Amino acid sequence: MKKVVVGFIALLVVLAIPLSVHFRKRADIVVGSKHFTEQKILGEMIAQLIEAHTDLKVSRRLGLQGTKVCFAALREGDLDIYPDYTGTGLVNILEEDYDPAQSRQDVLEHVRAEYARRWGIVWLDPLGFANTYAFAMRGDQAEELGIAKVSDLEKHKETIRPGFDHEYTTRPEFKRFGEVYGFTLGEKITRLDPDLTYKALKEESVDLIDAFSTDGRIAAYELRLLEDDKHLFPPYDCCVLARRATLDTHPELRDVLARLAGAISPDEMQVMNYAVTDEVRSPAAVAAEFLKRKGLVP
């Protein structure tokens, strides 16, 4: 029994060794991403771009579980680079309320300055699209009810059936909805697994979901994104984040990563997301095709 206990403890010690130790043995740069489709595509783009234009060895840690995990890994040096969004930096990491008076550039400059000052993390220039939270409805229902913006929902608040991702219902934006818009969406909100929200809306199990503005299913399912006319959501411009120490050690990375600045339009990101989501193509293949088409890799 003692041998079993000692062996178990030894196993725990091995498992407790940071994954970065294992990745660093075979890589100069570790690129990460969160767990959803768009992030995996972007992580692949970053990794493939570095591999195409430098001699650096790249390891991938794509599909990590959520913002806090990726940020902690970057801060501690387990990751060197990963993509993120300005609104996420403001609300989730800096834990600040969004002031609608702030412009997109204001939010970017603020998170850029605070990340650099506190943690030595660099926000590079935006990639050209924002993936903001939004509310979506079936296009035909929205047309029939005359709903084009979020404030239009007030007239239908007793009959509209919302279905939201579990995580969204814990976010600051959800908690501030009543304060910003002056009404609530009723007591009967269905909480859904994020993989089921679009399916539930398409199959008419719910009438309103929280969506991401670059999700490919929006066009494919003929959904309507409602205008956030009272600015509940901050801007979510996508950028590449990198450790300053990594950029100082490998200064060639700045020029390489700058190739992605302004290179991806919202429509292009939507098409790529849909290609992976519903056409069963890999993030690596979709990323490679995009980089070649844009002339960003040989």
**For the segment 93-133, what is each residue's pLDDT rounded down to a tens digit?**
999 999 999 999 999 999 999 999 999 999 999 999 999 99
Residue 209 has what pLDDT?
97
Residue 16 has what pLDDT?
44
Residue 105 has what pLDDT?
97
The DSSP letter of residue 187 is S
What is the number of other CB atoms lying within 10 angstroms of the CB of residue 278? 12
Residue 26 has what pLDDT?
67
Distances from the Cα of 47 to the Cα of 59, 268, 273, angstroms: 8, 19, 18
> Cα separation of 17 and 246, whole Å?
22
> Nearest Cα to 241, choosing from 23, 39, 24?
39
Residue 8 has what pLDDT?
47
Residue 10 has what pLDDT?
46
Residue 280 has what pLDDT?
77
CA angle (167, 242, 64) in 5-degree steps = 35
Q: Which helix (H) or strand (E) holds 163?
A: strand 162-165
Q: Which residues of the chain have pLDDT under 70?
A: 1-26, 279
pTM of the model: 0.85
Residue 121 near residue 248, CB atoms below 8 Å: no
Residue 193 has what pLDDT?
86
Give me the torsion for CA of 36, 38, 39, 43, rounded to 10°: 140
